[in-house]
Amino acid sequence: MHGLHARLPKHFVLEERLERYADVIEPAPTAWRGAWAEACHPLVPGQGAASYPRVVLDLGCGKGAFAAALAASEPQTLVVAMDAEPICVAYAAQHVTEAGMPNVVVVAGDGSRLPEYFSPGELSAIYLNFPTPFPRKREAARRLTSAEHLMQYRPLLAPGGTFRLRTDSLPLYRFSLEEAARAGYQLRWSSENARADFPDEPWSEYEEKLSAQGATVYAFLATPGPAPEQLAPREPRSLVDYLPQDLADMGYVPHGMEATVVNMRNYEAKRRAKVGSPRS
């Protein structure tokens, strides 16, 4: 989780944590490619190998609240909770262990490399909650909703499988809708207030935190439609291009764009003052 290192509790020893919760952590996810449903199912005495009927991915799971709540509401589903940051893996593993959820496995992995961890059709759903927005143009390729990433996810989804985004960021939501269309996904629904539209959905830590700061949740659910023959190349875009025209009207500023919006507002205020001031 970005910026978390600075806020680590005083006596936090990462290795110790990872070891303490090792039972629910899979540090080498490539080993289970194609075998998650069987490998993670608890042994059923006298019944031989059993298997989960559904495997879903919580991509960039953070501290694991969403994965644990989803697993509690769907005991027949295996939830793979993945994060690239070892600290998040440790926190998520602690959360899952304390919640006592048998159907969650916490994985250290990179969302840019999903085809190494999952085989075609292995996932029934990919949940992407409040992904790191990477607003700058030069970081655009790292956004987990870029068309290039969405193309990678397509084959991993089972028939009828879904990709769902939730974010506090109107710019990231708008960008991601465009990218989903480029990658040939069909929208099942989109919402500019997903908490109101789907009040029973589990909360993630970021949704809790950012909603308390005034965020609205933008979300969509999409499923792969006919694949584009070739992904047409596109210039990387800054998320600034997706901000509303009039920043003065914008109440809540999306996470990760605070400094940019402050700068843009100052610039605009100066420009207006200059235009308005009489010339000597």
Of the ranges 124-132, 187-195, 211-219, 229-237, which one interacts with ligand SAM (CB under 6 A)?
Answer: 124-132
205-233 b/e (C-beta count within 10 Å ≥ 16 → b): bbbeebeeeebbbbbbbbbbeeeeeebee
Place of tokens 């602690």: 94
Reference 158, options 34, 1, 2; nearest CA is 34
Other residues' Cβ atoms within 10 Å of the Cβ of residue 72: 15
Q: Binding to ligand SAM (CB under 6 A): which residues in 35-54?
A: none
Using the rule CB under 6 A, which residue among 61, 81, 90, 157 binds ligand SAM?
A: 61
The nearest distance, CB 104 to ligand SAM, in angstroms, is 14
DSSP state for residue 8 in the 8-state scheme: -
Q: Binding to ligand SAM (CB under 6 A): which residues in 66-95?
A: 82-85, 88
Using the rule CB under 6 A, which residue among 29, 60, 224, 254 binds ligand SAM?
A: 60
152 binds ligand SAM (CB under 6 A): no
The CA-based angle 72-77-82, given to 5 degrees, is 85
3-state DSSP assignment of residue 219:
strand
Using the rule CB under 6 A, which residue among 206, 218, 220, 242 binds ligand SAM?
A: 206
167 binds ligand SAM (CB under 6 A): no
257 binds ligand SAM (CB under 6 A): no
181 binds ligand SAM (CB under 6 A): no
Using the rule CB under 6 A, which residue among 111, 135, 184, 254 binds ligand SAM?
A: 111
1 binds ligand SAM (CB under 6 A): yes
Of the ranges 56-64, 214-222, 227-235, 238-246, which one interacts with ligand SAM (CB under 6 A)?
Answer: 56-64
Reference 31, options 157, 125, 117; nearest CA is 117
DSSP track, 81-149: EEES-HHHHHHHHHHHHHHT-TTEEEEE--GGGHHHH--TT-EEEEEEES-----SGGGGGG-TTSHHH
Q: Which positions touch ligand SAM (CB under 6 A)?
A: 1, 60-62, 82-85, 88, 110-112, 129-132, 144, 204-207
